Structure formats: C-alpha cells, structure tokens
C-alpha cells in the first residue's frame, strides 16, 4: 500500500483538531475522527513538556496528516501537584 504524502494541518482545521484532542483527553480509548478527512483512528501523541504549554502530535494514516499542535495554557486548571 502506498502511504499518502504527509501534510500539515490546514489553518482552518485547527479548531477541529483541538476538539479532537479534547475528545481524546476525555476518553483515550475512543477512536477520534481526523480533523481533515473525518476518518476515525486519528493518532494523537501527547508531547507536552512544560507546565504552561501542551504539544500534541497528530497523525492520520488515511489522508497523511502529520502535525504538531501547540496549545498555550494561559489559564492554569487546578493547582500544581508537583
Ligand atoms: Zn485524515
């Protein structure tokens, strides 16, 4: 099978991608739909390394999406437990 060329997330799909991440964080066992092509099975990898920002690697094998989404955490949720 030929893998489609990898492509970044279109700017107008960032909101959809963030929704996909929230859904994934709520239930990581549920298949998440790709924000670009809508196919299930979006792969999300949490690469957050800092307390005030989150990084998520999104990849879709169907349309070739390959993108790292940066979510700045301007409003801390809850207290720090570290
Ligand atoms: Zn896709």
Could you report the per-residue pLDDT of 14-29, keeping only the tens digit for each? Answer: 999 999 999 999 999 9
Instruction: Give the tens place of pLDDT for each residue, 51-66.
Output: 778 899 999 999 999 9
Q: 40: CA distance to ligand 1 center in Å?
A: 8
Note whether 58 and 69 are within 8 A (CB).
yes
Eight-class DSSP state of 18: H
Instruction: Give the tens place of pLDDT for each residue, 43-53.
Output: 999 998 767 78
Q: 82: CA distance to ligand 1 center in Å?
A: 36
Which of 19, 49, 54 lies closest to 34 in space, CA to CA? 19
Which tokens in the block code for residue 4?
């489609």
Which tokens in the block code for residue 25?
């964080």
Task: Give the rounded distance of the alpha carbon of 68 from its chain centre.
Answer: 7
**pTM of the full structure:** 0.77
Q: 38: CA distance to ligand 1 center in Å?
A: 6
Q: 45: CA distance to ligand 1 center in Å?
A: 15
Q: 61: CA distance to ligand 1 center in Å?
A: 7
**Mean pLDDT of all residues belonging to the chain:** 86
């Amino acid at each position: 099978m030929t893998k489609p060329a990898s492509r970044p997330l279109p700017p107008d799909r960032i909101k959809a991608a963030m929704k996909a991440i929230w859904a994934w964080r709520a239930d990581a066992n549920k298949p998440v739909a790709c924000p670009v092509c809508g196919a299930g099975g979006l792969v999300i990898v949490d690469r957050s390394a800092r307390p005030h920002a989150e990084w998520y690697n999104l990849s879709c094998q169907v349309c070739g999406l390959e993108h790292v989404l940066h979510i700045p955490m301007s409003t801390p949720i809850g207290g720090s437990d570290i």
